[in-house]
Copies of this chain bind each other. A is one copy, B any other.
Amino acid sequence: MTAVLEVPEGYAPHDVESLRGYLAEIDGLRQVLGGDPAAWTIEEVGDGNLNLVFKVRGSGAGVAVKQALPYVRLVGESWPLPLSRAHYEHLALSQEGRHAPGLVPAILHYDADLALIVMELLEPHVILRRGMIAGTVYPRFVEDITTFTAETLFHTSDLALAAADKKDLVAAFAGNSALCKITEDLIFTEPYMIADNNRWTSPQLDPYAARLRADGDLKVAISRLKLRFLGDAQALIHGDLHTGSIMVTEADTRVIDPEFAVMGPMGFDLGALVANLLLNYFAQDGHEESPGARDDYRAWVLETTEGVWAGFRAKFLALWRGAAAAGDGYPAALFQGPLGAVRLDQERKAYLDRLYRDTLGFGAAKMIRRIVGLAHNIDLEWIEDPEVRARCEARALTLAREMMVNPGAFPSIGDVAEAAAGLRGWEPRLG
């Protein structure tokens, strides 16, 4: 074990006091924080699964400090994880910040040896997932997240980049394989087999989990999606774009934590959004104060789900129709004249139809893994009554299975929303 946990020279995890000294030595940060370093308040708040996270406040602005540990924090030293993930997070944040300015936290400092990133402190932002569990409406969210996805995915794809530049990006992220392996195992493999990591609301969902493991069509479908994730370098994806990776206020949206970033299929990011919105939708039954109290909120969640796809599609199309479409894919020289323009625009829509189907498939994978795999969502976990929780989960699983195996049954995102609404009226037979 010690061998695996070896860390590079110069690395040591910070605690509150060592961090104070470290930050005080960096001129720019000392100025941003302001006042006497001894008076800074520093708290370790990492409630994620992987890293140390500190909030630091001075008399000026606050900063957030994220430092990778050489293992998975949630599990401990028995699950080593390379510090290089901080490098990939920094690289992805830089790309995202360039293409979607203002929608990721500003980077103030990066220390490769310490695997440490200092960012602006996002206040009074909350994690979108928590806000949505509380039933809060975020009027900016659809507008911002569709800008984020359209801009980051388009500008790192073959539609915008010369092939050599895109291959450079592929090579730059190829080393992030340990993080990708987590995705490959926990999302694309383990939920469909007997695995120690799996858990679900038991015994209520036992028959559902058993059916997943016996579902040949579903296992072929998830395996095809896994193959896409392994080999299809479509664009720079965030790689973990659920509602826990988004911080919001009513007026602002920021995407955080891109340490799973890799060149992969765009539908993986878009599916993560759709999946986590749908999970929240199904979970509302477990959070409303009285039956029907969250009806308006539920409607907003479904509108948001539809808006995320529809808005992304419109913005991505607009980018492709504009001057940024200078990549080596679909070269303009092949589609000259009015007939060429018509044909290319038909193909743009066909491309987005394919991406929509990918989104349903990857989204389904993300829903299933949150219900029968290792990492669950608090949207559902916080429902205390296991019968209520299992009913929400069974509905989500049922929709997800159809989305993955039979995406053609949902010709538009509105059909997905309609199916979700319909499933709320269904009483699953629990184990």
Stretch at the interface among A165-173, A202-210, A282-290: A165-173
Whether the pair A230, B334 counts as a contact (CB closer than 8 A) is: no
A94 at the interface (CB under 8 A from B): no
The residue on B at minimum CB distance from A169 is B174
Known interface pairs A167-B177, A175-B171, A177-B167; A193-B334 also in contact (CB < 8 Å) = yes
Contacting residues, chain B, for A234 (C-beta < 8 A): 231
The residue on B at minimum CB distance from A337 is B214
A339 at the interface (CB under 8 A from B): yes
Main secondary structure, interface of A, reads helix
- A220 CA to B328 CA in the complex, in Å? 14
Contacting residues, chain B, for A331 (C-beta < 8 A): 189, 193, 223
Whether the pair A231, B233 counts as a contact (CB closer than 8 A) is: yes
A430 to chain B, nearest CB (A): 25
Whether the pair B171, A334 counts as a contact (CB closer than 8 A) is: no
Category for how many chain A residues contact B: 35 or more
The residue on B at minimum CB distance from A164 is B177
Whether the pair A163, B189 counts as a contact (CB closer than 8 A) is: no
Known interface pairs A158-B230, A184-B163; A219-B171 also in contact (CB < 8 Å) = no
Interface string of A118-147 (1 = CB under 8 A from B): 000000000000000000000000000000
Whether the pair A330, B223 counts as a contact (CB closer than 8 A) is: yes
- A273 CA to B344 CA in the complex, in Å? 30
Whether the pair A163, B230 counts as a contact (CB closer than 8 A) is: yes
Whether the pair A166, B233 counts as a contact (CB closer than 8 A) is: no
Contacting residues, chain B, for A256 (C-beta < 8 A): none
- A354 CA to B24 CA in the complex, in Å? 59
Question: In A177-199, which residues have CB < 8 Å from any B CB?
Answer: 177-178, 180-181, 184, 189, 192-193
Whether the pair B168, A181 counts as a contact (CB closer than 8 A) is: no
A329 to chain B, nearest CB (A): 5
Whether the pair A167, B175 counts as a contact (CB closer than 8 A) is: yes
Contacting residues, chain B, for A329 (C-beta < 8 A): 223, 226-227, 230
A333 at the interface (CB under 8 A from B): yes
A316 to chain B, nearest CB (A): 15
Contacting residues, chain B, for A43 (C-beta < 8 A): none
A335 at the interface (CB under 8 A from B): yes
A340 at the interface (CB under 8 A from B): yes
13 residue pairs from A and B, CB less than 8 Å apart: A158-B231, A163-B184, A171-B171, A171-B175, A193-B331, A193-B334, A214-B339, A216-B340, A222-B334, A230-B328, A231-B233, A231-B234, A232-B232
Closest 6 CB pairs of A and B: A164-B177, A171-B174, A216-B343, A167-B174, A171-B171, A158-B230
5 new A-B contacts, CB < 8 A, other than A193-B334, A231-B234, are A168-B177, A184-B328, A223-B329, A223-B330, A233-B233
A interface list, Cβ under 8 A from B: 158, 163-164, 166-168, 170-171, 174-175, 177-178, 180-181, 184, 189, 192-193, 214, 216, 219-220, 222-223, 226-227, 230-234, 328-331, 333-336, 339-340, 343, 346-347
